[in-house]
Amino acid sequence: MATITEVSKTFKLGGELEIHRLGYGAMRITGKGIWGEPADREAAKKVLRRAVELGVDFIDTADSYGPTVSEPLIGEALAPYAQGTVIATKGGLTRQGPDRWLPVGRPEYLTQQVEMSLRFLKRDTLDLWQLHRIDPQVPVEESLGAIKKLQAAGKIRFVGLSEVTVEQIKQARKTVEIVSVQNEYNLGNRKSEAVLEYCEREGLAFIPWFPVAAGKLAQPGGKLDTLAKQHDATVSQLSLAWLLHRSPVMLPIPGTSSVAHLEENMKAAQLTLSDAEWKDLEAAAK
């Protein structure tokens, strides 16, 4: 566990791209079930632009968000991009309807999707491309072999993985250099603890999706709620602050379709607790 003095506000992705550790996840700017257009496209663009105004320089999306809704919105709202803005996207999940996701890792499909992402995001190079899921029907060497070729062609700068085990990361690294891992992780869900510890040892970024604790832990009157109120904060802010405190390789990407909620989330980077309070919070979560 990092101490307050050890926590850096930035992280160098791939050892090169320095970004603020609290980013923005662009999944929620689509329709219900992450399907179709948002209720208000202009409002979605305002959220994206406000994120950049607030200092966010790491935005995470995927070709399957919509599908092909989130990426075009980012391109329309933010291109030409502010200097230093890093856009991460993902490929490898297909959509069959609201809340339905199936992996496809065939090399020709992933190659097509990278080209589409470049077009929608209005980029010449994807800063970070992540394999959204490993397809159990396609050897990961084949999937990432195609990505390595695109990287060599200058279309992808860095490569990451999503929802993987330590062994899967090690296997993937035999084909292409991996700089980041995106797994589900929050104060109440620590199933990826071993993956996080591996990322710390290897200097890989760990991007927690679903970063805000939910369920019993976040209920009104609970430990998280009580501690948040003591610091004039929200449960969301405290959840995000804990992630930033938990590890220097952690890059939380809270998502929202509301400017007010976005502004609230970004204040989490300024929230500090004593070591005793962090330990108390840990104990409550366990």
Kindly list the catalytic residues.
Answer: 65
CA distance 214 to 235: 9
Helices (runs of H) and strands (runs of E) counted in the chain:
10, 11
Contacts of 103 (CB under 8 A, 6+ apart): 92, 93, 94, 132, 133, 134, 135, 136
Q: ∠ CA 202-279-180 to the nearest 5 degrees?
A: 20
Please tell me whether residue 183 adopts helix, strand or coil conformation.
strand
Beta carbons within 8 Å of 9's beta carbon, 6+ residues apart: 20, 21, 269
Q: Which two tokens stand for residue 210?
A: 């679903």
* 264 and 237 Cβ atoms separated by less than 8 Å: yes
Q: How many CB atoms lie within 10 A of CB 44?
A: 23
Looking at residue 69, its amino acid is: V
Positions of E strands within the chain:
10-13, 17-20, 24-25, 58-60, 86-91, 93-97, 100-103, 126-131, 156-162, 180-184, 205-209
Choose among 253, 257, 52: nearest CA to 160.
253
At a CB cut-off of 8 Å and minimum separation 6, what does 14 contact? 157, 158, 177, 179
